[in-house]
Amino acid sequence: MPSSPPTEAFPAHTPAASQVFVTVLCHGPLTRSDIGGRAGLSAAAVTKAVRPLIEAGYLVEDVGEETRPSLGRPANPVRVDGGRALFIGVKITGDEIIAVLTDLCCRIRVARHLPLTARDPGAVLTLASELVRELLAEADGFGAPVHGLGVAVSGDVDRAAGVVRYSPFLEWHDVPLAELLGMTTGLKVTVDNDVRALTVAEQWFGAGVGLSDFALVTVGAGIGCGLVVHGRVVSGAHGVAGEIGHVVIDPAGPPCHCGNRGCVEAIAADPAIVAAVRERTGVAVTDAAAALELAHRGDQGARDVYTRAGDAIGRAIGTVANLFGPERVIISGEGLAAYDLFAEQIRDAFAAAAFGTAAQCDLKTRPLPFDEWARGAAATAIQSFIRSEARH
């Protein structure tokens, strides 16, 4: 039973108003003249865009000002009132559903996990709907409406259509997930690829704020990459981009399930690391945590595996940097737990692979609590909400 009226329109009818809001959302409290400067608008335009946003409660005057650096009338900063609207983000993995309730600033208010027993669309839909309903119930306590639901799934996702075209982990083909979840939850649903969702979260709320060209590389069960070029997340002509996992690092390397040898994913993803550690050390580790522990305990064979993984990741990032010239590459993912083991190799291999000015690219690591994937999904919902009324 949906608890909130989804009919409320976001009062940013014009591109400029939408841009003003996003500017404030990303860059914290800003005075009106700062907004104009950053968004390239006149002060008058800012005033006209800000007023309805304040009246609707999405922006508030930031009373907690402190800096009074100079002469003249004091500036009057505004900020986004995160509590004005809520969103739900859901990440569906092969064996778990993670759901978070966030506010408009994409801060997590509540998080829930649920193990996944069956992977067919019907079962997943039931569980996901259940989880969303729980969060909707929680949302009542915050006194703000839930304005959207974002869903992140790995694989080939058509965001515009809301369809999961192909998901290897779930073995789904052409599932109209947005429509289905829209019916069961009554919410406006945005479905996107998981890495792209995380990229949106970084772009608006993370280490990509203010950058028009950056990449996000995730290391974990797989190796993924999200790209932002000219300030927009790249989706590719066929809806798929950022497939860094199957960049071949070494044609003589271990075989990969994709049919090639020596893909990054066949060297540096969790399963590959586990297999390599087992082979090198003879210890029957079964998951990434065990492999990591072995390495942390000082086993040289295990450490060598991580060294090689770092080298592969660094080379892959170098390739990305050479092709795009991003200002920054953000490294994230569960695999970052092993960062101390391969940080040096990543940086060395990147520095060797990056050519010319591409080496100026800034490498930045970001720890990734597992809820973060679901937060990325919420970020896409927030994006859809803000843009929904912007495009005419």
Amino acid at 314: G
CB of 43 or CB of 258, closer to a second copy: 258
Could you say whether residue 73 binds DNA (CB under 7 A)?
Answer: yes
Map residues 252-291 to x or -, x wherever contact with a second copy holds by CB under 8 A.
x-----xxx-------------------------------
Residues 167-206 that bind a second copy (CB under 8 A): none
Looking up tokens 């660094």 gives: 314
Could you say whether residue 327 binds a second copy (CB under 8 A)?
Answer: yes
Distance of CA 234 to the CA centre of its chain: 13
Buried-exposed string 115-138: b where 16+ CB fall within 10 A, e elsewhere: ebeeeebeebbebbbebbbbbbeb
Contact 136, 76 (CB under 8 A): no
Could you say whether residue 1 binds a second copy (CB under 8 A)?
Answer: no
The distance between the two most distant Cα atoms of the chain, rounded to a whole number of Å, is: 72
Report which of 180, 272, 183 is spatially closest to residue 223, judged by C-alpha positions: 272
Could you say whether residue 98 binds a second copy (CB under 8 A)?
Answer: no
CB of 5 or CB of 69, closer to DNA: 69
Q: Smallest distance from the beta carbon of 356 to a second copy, in angstroms?
A: 6
Q: Smallest distance from the beta carbon of 349 to a second copy, in angstroms?
A: 10
Q: What are the structure tokens assigned to 263, written together?
A: 């893909």
Q: Smallest distance from the beta carbon of 89 to DNA, in angstroms?
A: 30
Residues 14-53 that bind DNA (CB under 7 A): 14-17, 31-34, 40-51
Q: 48: Cβ–Cβ under 8 A, 6 or more apart, which residues? A: 17
Please choose which of a second copy, DNA, none residue 16 contacts, taking the beta carbon within 5 to 8 angstroms, the exact cut-off set by kind: DNA
List C-alpha distances in Å: 70 to 30, 31, 38, 64, 73.
Answer: 16, 14, 21, 18, 9
CB of 116 or CB of 240, closer to a second copy: 240
Please choose which of DNA, a second copy, none residue 247 contacts, taking the beta carbon within 5 to 8 angstroms, the exact cut-off set by kind: a second copy
| Beta-sheet pairing, 86-92 with 96-103 | antiparallel
CB of 156 or CB of 202, closer to a second copy: 156
Q: Smallest distance from the beta carbon of 9 to DNA, in angstroms?
A: 13
Please choose which of a second copy, DNA, none residue 15 contacts, taking the beta carbon within 5 to 8 angstroms, the exact cut-off set by kind: DNA
Q: What are the structure tokens assigned to 391, written together?
A: 């495009």
CB of 169 or CB of 370, closer to a second copy: 169
Please choose which of a second copy, DNA, none residue 391 contacts, taking the beta carbon within 5 to 8 angstroms, the exact cut-off set by kind: none
DSSP string computed for 239-281 = S----GGG-BS-TTS-B-TTS-BSBHHHHHSHHHHHHHHHHHH
Q: Smallest distance from the beta carbon of 33 to DNA, in angstroms?
A: 4
Cα separation, 10 vs 383, whole angstroms = 12
CB of 46 or CB of 180, closer to DNA: 46
Q: Smallest distance from the beta carbon of 351 to a second copy, in angstroms?
A: 10
Count of CB atoms situated within 10 Å of the CB of 11: 18
Please choose which of DNA, a second copy, none residue 48 contacts, taking the beta carbon within 5 to 8 angstroms, the exact cut-off set by kind: DNA
Residues 200-259 that bind a second copy (CB under 8 A): 211-214, 225, 227, 229-230, 232, 234-252, 258-259
Could you say whether residue 309 binds a second copy (CB under 8 A)?
Answer: no
Cα separation, 115 vs 347, whole angstroms = 36
Backbone φ and ψ of 264, nearest 5°? -55, -45
Report which of 148, 241, 247, 231 is spatially closest to residue 193, judged by C-alpha positions: 241
Q: 226: Cβ–Cβ under 8 A, 6 or more apart, which residues? A: 195, 196, 198, 199, 202, 215, 216, 218, 233, 234, 242
Q: 18: Cβ–Cβ under 8 A, 6 or more apart, which residues? A: 12, 386, 387, 390
Please choose which of a second copy, DNA, none residue 70 contacts, taking the beta carbon within 5 to 8 angstroms, the exact cut-off set by kind: DNA
Candidates 307, 322, 365, 388; binder of a second copy (CB under 8 A) is: 322
Could you say whether residue 80 binds DNA (CB under 7 A)?
Answer: no
Binding stretches for a second copy (CB under 8 A):
156, 166, 211-214, 225, 227, 229-230, 232, 234-252, 258-260, 315, 319-320, 322-327, 352-353, 355-358, 360-361
Binding stretches for DNA (CB under 7 A):
13-17, 31-34, 40-51, 68, 70-77
